[in-house]
A and B are shown apart, each in its own frame.
Chain A
Amino acid sequence: MARRAGIAALLAGATALAGAPHADTVPSYNLYGLPGLVDMPDANMSPDATLALTYGRMGTANRGSVSFQIAPRLVGTFRYTGIGSFDHRASVDGVYYDRSFDVRFQLLTESGWRPSVVIGLQDFIGTGLYSAEYLVATKTIAPGLQVTGGLGWGRLGSYNGFGGFGTRSEEVLDDGGQPTTDRWFRGDIAPFGGIAWSPDDRLTFKLEYSSDQYDLERENSTFEHNSPINVGMDYRFKGGSQLSLYYAHGSTIGAQYTYTMNPKTLGVPGGTETAPLPVKPRSAAEARDLGWTSDISGTEASTQARLARSLSREKLELEGFDLEPNRATLRLRNDTYGATSQAVGRAARAMSRILPGSVEEFVIVPSERGMPASAITLRRSDLEALENEAAADMLARTGFGEAPANTPPMELDDHPRFLWSLAPYYNYATFDPDGPLRLDLGVALRGQIEFSPNIVLRGSIGKKIVGNIDDITRESASNLPRVRTDYAEYAREADPRIPRLTLAFYGKPASQLYSRLTLGYLETMYAGASAEILWKPVGSRLALGAELNYVERRDFDMLFGLQGNETTDPVTGITRSFPHVNGHVSAYYDFGNGYNTQLDVGRYIAGDKGATLTVAREFANGWRIGAFATKTDVSSKDFGEGSFDKGLFFTIPVSIGTGKPSRSDSTFTIRSVQRDGGAKLSVSDRLYERIRDNHEPDVATSWGRFWR
């Protein structure tokens, strides 16, 4: 006891020096879901990669938004609005629903005497309800005190404006979806501005002069605009979320909640999984000893068994093994670690503890669904020397190559393998004007039979317990075969349902080539066959692929029946058919700085031909946030609302929530409208994301996890 008290007392004298790092702070968000005052924008930018969700109500308008700081100087926003008692032909029960996109770019950053200057396009691709452009400057003139001033066009030029360039249409378009370039920076210009004062970290008070007099709302709704002066107050909670209260236009109060997160800072740094084994260093004599090679096959068998056991303690799997006097090749299956570097690092340390001393070269071949995806070569003496050094030192001495032709074959002793789970599931449907967010919750029984790692039968059956997706009653006419717009029929009739039931074959037909063939009930609406091939060299940032599908429409009950590729429109009664074959060729390019792009060109389900461009911001930990747009030979008019298919997606890795390593993630896709043009088959397990995980650019990005 004396000893313990002694040490504790001796050390208790130590005191930390004061000093806090400059944490990046998230600015205050306005009613449009972007950094700003009350309704007006300011020139603040959030820290890179900030994802902000806002929900606000002012007067009769409800606005929900998601904003993403795409790059340090670029932010994009998607907004969903419902304006009550709004007289418009598209209103539902008096509520007018509208979706809009904004972008903002920071022209100048703040420094010295210079303010931050931002240019913004508001509702630049939609119906034009919120259409506006602005140039705005913000300067911090004292700690906690900011002054903002700007010039607005469109909505933001509607109050006390002066003549600008050209004229501007004020019409709210029916279909939206087209960039309204003919309006940008046209028509009257009006000044706006304001101040924001934050006496402490929690509170911000805002006062603004608004240049938006809400013409559309005054004409079509019960909106009163009595004053250009708006005031607001934000309270910032400890977790970073904000609650804002407003009094605006001399007539109405408003409130808003803002939740921000950041893929770069959310989660436990480095994770909470248990420690890896340490490297076991060899003595010089051990490294020279080749005595064991007199019984190489016996040693190989016993070593392999020990290594397999050791790997299974790390939740890794030995899928194949080959031992030579100076080299060992491990075919490694990783279903656990989101970062391949971590799987390889743990396997290498297990190898250092088990393999005979003369084995100097470790070749680890990550096997993805039985496809040898690369060969990562490590020198054992480097592992011994660099375990306590910067991870970059080890990366510099690690070799990446194509999986060798003589990759050890798969060990199939414990196959076929049966996996199952019974777990809750959810489904969601967005932006139906009768219920903007619909949700189903239920239970899903999932099963998988792995005949070998590359031949897998898997499926699931779900039973809804509670939900309202099947309440969708809206029917809208389509000028195309109803390849997607019958989703409400499926929602109504499919319970219980089999979302997918497939037999998949994965292969590696040649070096740098990977293949997939999937047969069965490929997705919720289509059954058939899907074949895919991918070319992806290990060190390359470019990949090329092709997918060819033969499909038939499934019955609305989502069980085993098919209904042929003919659809009848419930509104017009017109019957249309669509081809069985669709598919596309794809090019993928990883820019290496966290941006990835994909271009698909081909024929879509309805038989329309065109291209999809997908751009994503990716993070080493597995987050992906991106947007896609598809333009096909279907005219905007025939496409209907939205003019063309487009949307946003958010892929969130499971490890963020649990702190434990995982390869699972979940993707949420928000489409502004689901129509029939530009519809792609949604097959699971497309090759690119799986294969690239094991290739040099991706492995190097999260290499810090090698020693974790």
Chain B
Amino acid sequence: MSFKTTCRVALLTGLIAALAACGNDDNRDPVFETAYASLFGKDNEDQTPISDQEIAETLAATDLPVIRLRIEARKSEAVALEIERSGEHRTYGTANRQGIVLRHGMITATRGLGGDLMSVEEDQLLSLVRARSAGQARYVQRYLTPEDVTEELVYSCEIRPQQQVEVTPGVSGTTVRAACSSETAPNFADVYIVDAGGEIVGSRQWLGKTTGYVTMQQLRR
């Protein structure tokens, strides 16, 4: 490569970096767009755990119900406030506009995490978990594939209540384990902590191949 060519390549590389966001039209070429994303795009997810002080501040700043969420594989943590109620479903939103839907504390959908859980058929599983009873339940998770086709994963879950635990001082709950298996997807085991009223106050739930396990804690209901 001649000196002139080298200079030109350097100039071009500089230009690509400099022009990454030049103009008011965001319809750009996919090839360069992909290059930007892989070169300059940073996962802007907050990797630092949330301190107790931040949680105290969040709780003090609002009267809304609050949950705390941790995606284990990404080591990322967030708090989310309730933003809508529809029947038994509660939608929570994080500051980065990610959404989590709970039904009696069970995560039934996520939005904006990537590889989102789009919807579930959870009636049988939820009723056994809430009742803290052993049994078998059919459970369905739906995801979008990268092709944008809905993929329905059907699981058979074995639910078993386990030990009593003290959730917060003076408040006890029962851990319930649901071991789920499927012929077309990886098996998983969820754990729920259920209070005396049948509400799931904390859980470790499988949200699919992309997200993996998520722990959830209801900080204020």
* Closest CB in chain A relative to B111 CB, distance in Å: 3
A490 contacts partner chain B, Cβ-Cβ < 8 Å: no
Tally of B interface residues using CB under 8 Å: 85
Cβ of B202: which chain A residues have Cβ within 8 Å of it?
7, 10-11
B9 interface contact, C-beta 8 A: yes
On whether the beta carbons of B189 and A20 are closer than 8 Å, the reply is no
Considering only residues 694-708 of chain A, those with a C-beta below 8 Å from chain B are 701-705, 707-708
| B144 CB, min distance to chain A CBs, angstroms | 4
B44 to chain A, nearest CB (A): 10
A267 interface residue (CB < 8 Å to B): yes
Report if B104 contacts A (CB, 8 A): no
Verify if B196 is at the interface (C-beta below 8 Å from A): no
Report whether B99 and A7 are in contact in the complex, using a CB–CB cutoff of 8 Å.
Answer: no
In the complex, per-residue mask of B82-111: 1 if CB is within 8 Å of any chain A CB, else 0: 011111010101001111010100001101
| Separation of A8 and B213 alpha carbons in the complex (Å) | 13
Known A-B contacts A276-B99, A705-B148; the reply to A7 vs B91 at CB < 8 A is no
The reply to whether B89 and A388 form a contact with Cβ atoms under 8 Å apart is yes
Q: Which of B5, B27, B52, B203 contacts A664 (CB 8 A)?
A: B27
Docked Cα-Cα span, A8 to B49, in Å, equals: 13
Contact with B along A432-456 (1 / 0, CB 8 A): 0000000001110010100000000
* Inter-chain contact B34/A657, CB cutoff 8 Å: yes
Residues of B within 8 A of A658 (CB): 33-34, 37, 41
Given the interface contacts A271-B114, A272-B112, A664-B28, does A281 sit within 8 Å of B37 by beta carbon? no
Residues of B within 8 A of A426 (CB): 29, 31-32
The answer to whether B8 touches A466, judged by C-beta atoms less than 8 angstroms apart, is yes
Return A238 CB to nearest CB of chain B, in Å: 16
Chain A nearest Cβ from B102, distance in angstroms: 11
Digitize B181-214: 1 where CB-to-A-CB distance is under 8 Å, 0 elsewhere. Answer: 1001111111101000000001110100010010
Residues in chain A near residue B190, CB distance under 8 A: 14
A270, closest chain B residue (CB):
B144
> In the complex the two chains form, what is the Cα distance from A3 to B15 in whole Å?
52
Q: Which residue of B lies closest to A704 (CB)?
A: B150
Residues of the B chain whose Cβ atoms lie less than 8 Å from the Cβ of A7: 167, 193, 202, 215, 217
Taking a contact as CB atoms under 8 Å apart, the answer to whether A14 and B191 are in contact is: yes
Q: From residue B140, how far is it (CB to closest CB) to chain A in Å? A: 8
A3 to B185, CA, bound (A): 34
Q: Give the residue of A3, A421, A663, A701 whose beta carbon is less than 8 angstroms from that of B24.
A: A421
In the docked arrangement, what's the CA distance between A421 and B22, Å?
6
Tell me the B123-179 residues at the A interface (CB within 8 Å).
142-150, 152, 165-168, 175, 177, 179
Q: Which of A399-416 contact B (CB under 8 A)?
A: none
**CB closest chain-A residue, reference B182:** A21
Q: Please determine whether B186 and A388 come into contact, CB atoms closer than 8 angstroms.
A: no
Say yes or no: is B58 at the interface (Cβ < 8 Å to chain A).
no
CB of B132 to closest CB in A, whole Å: 15
Q: Is the CB of B97 within 8 A of A275?
A: yes
Chain A contacts for B109, CB-based, 8 A: 388
Q: List the A side residues contacting B96 at CB < 8 Å.
A: 274
Instruction: Indicate with 1 or 0, residue by residue over A6-33, a CB within 8 angstroms of chain B CB atoms.
Output: 1110110111111111000000000000
Q: How far is the CA of A4 from the CA of B22 in the complex (A)?
A: 45
Docked-complex contact A270 and B116, CB < 8 angstroms = yes
Q: Which of B26, B118, B188 contacts A704 (CB 8 A)?
A: B118
Tell yes or no: A493 within 8 A of B by CB: no
Q: Which of B119, B189, B191 contacts A388 (CB 8 A)?
A: B119
* Residue in A16, A266, A269, A387 whose CB lies within 8 Å of B144: A269
Type the 1/0 row for A585-597, where 1 means its CB is closer than 8 Å to any CB of B.
0000000000000
Q: How far is the CB of A341 from chain B (nearest CB, A)?
A: 9
Decide if A335 is an interface residue (CB 8 Å cutoff). Answer: yes
On chain B, the residues within 8 Å of A272 by CB distance are 112, 114
Which residues of chain B are near A461, meaning CB under 8 Å? none
Please provide the chain B residues from 1 to 44 with a CB less than 8 Å away from any CB of chain A in the complex.
5, 8-9, 11-12, 15-16, 19, 22-35, 37-38, 41
Select one of B22, B31, B115, B167 contacting A269, CB under 8 A.
B115
A704:B181 contact, CB within 8 angstroms: no
CB of B145 within 8 A of CB of A265, answer yes
Bound Cα distance from A685 to B175, whole angstroms:
59
Chain A residue numbers with a CB within 8 Å of B213 are 14, 16
Residue of B nearest to A668 (CB): B31
Identify the interface centre among B34, B83, B96: most chain A CB within 10 Å of its CB: B34
Q: Which of A81-89, A295-303, A389-397, A520-528 is found at the contact surface with chain B? A: A389-397
Closest beta carbon of chain B to A47's beta carbon, Å: 12
Q: Counting CB contacts under 8 A, is A571 at the interface?
A: no
* A652 contacts B by Cβ under 8 Å: yes
Cβ B9 vs Cβ A708 within 8 A? no
Q: Establish whether residues A14 and B97, one from each chain, have CB atoms under 8 Å apart when the complex forms.
A: no
Q: How far is the CA of A440 from the CA of B31 in the complex (A)?
A: 14
A269 touches B210 (CB 8 A): yes
Known: A388-B89, A708-B116. A656 touches B144 (CB 8 A): no
A156 located at the interface, meaning its Cβ lies under 8 Å from any Cβ of chain B in the complex: no
What B residues does A666 contact at CB under 8 A? 29-31
Instruction: Find chain A residues with CB under 8 A from B35 CB.
Output: 657
- Taking CB as reference atom, which chain A residue is nearest B115? A269
CB distance from B18 to the nearest CB of A (A): 9
A397 to chain B, nearest CB (A): 15
- Smallest CB gap from A420: residue in B: B23
User: Which chain A residues border B99 with CB–CB below 8 Å?
Assistant: 275-276, 278
Q: How far is the CA of A373 from the CA of B216 in the complex (A)?
A: 44
Q: Nearest CB to that of A445 among chain B residues? A: B23
Q: Give the shortest distance, in Å, between A25 (CB) and chain B (any CB).
A: 16
Cβ of B43 to closest chain A Cβ, rounded Å = 9
Contact B23 A652 (CB under 8 A): no
Q: Which residues of A contact B103 (CB under 8 A)?
A: 388
Instruction: Give the chain B neighbours of A265 by CB distance below 8 A.
Output: 145-147
B113 CB, min distance to chain A CBs, angstroms: 8
Which parts of A276-300 form the interface with B (CB within 8 Å)?
Answer: 276, 278-281
Among residues of A, the one whose C-beta sits closest to the C-beta of B212 is: A16
Looking across the interface, which residue of chain A has its beta carbon closest to that of B191? A14
* Cα distance A270–B33 in the bound complex, in angstroms: 19
Q: Interface centre among A20, A268, A278, by most B CB within 10 Å?
A: A278
What's the Cα separation between A17 and B177 when bound, in Å?
A: 12
Complexed CA–CA distance, A156 and B42 (Å): 51
Q: Decide yes or no: A423 and B23 within 8 Å by CB, A3-B168, A10-B175, A658-B34 being known contacts.
A: yes
Is A488's beta carbon under 8 Å from chain B? no
Which of B15, B34, B181, B184 interacts with A424 by CB under 8 Å?
B15
Distance of A198 Cα from B32 Cα, bound (Å): 38
- B27 to A420, Cβ gap below 8 A? no
Q: Which 4 A-B pairs have the closest CB atoms?
A: A657-B34, A421-B23, A275-B99, A275-B111
- In the complex, 11 of the A-B residue pairs with CB atoms within 8 angstroms, ordered by the A residue number, are A3-B168, A266-B146, A274-B111, A275-B112, A388-B103, A392-B150, A620-B149, A654-B28, A654-B34, A663-B27, A664-B30
Residues of B bordering A, CB below 8 Å: 5, 8-9, 11-12, 15-16, 19, 22-35, 37-38, 41, 52, 83-87, 89, 91, 93, 96-99, 101, 103, 108-109, 111-112, 114-116, 118-119, 121, 142-150, 152, 165-168, 175, 177, 179, 181, 184-191, 193, 202-204, 206, 210, 213, 215, 217
Known: A387-B89, A620-B149, A656-B146; 10 extra A-B contacts, CB below 8 A, are A13-B191, A20-B186, A269-B143, A278-B101, A388-B101, A423-B32, A466-B12, A662-B27, A664-B30, A704-B144
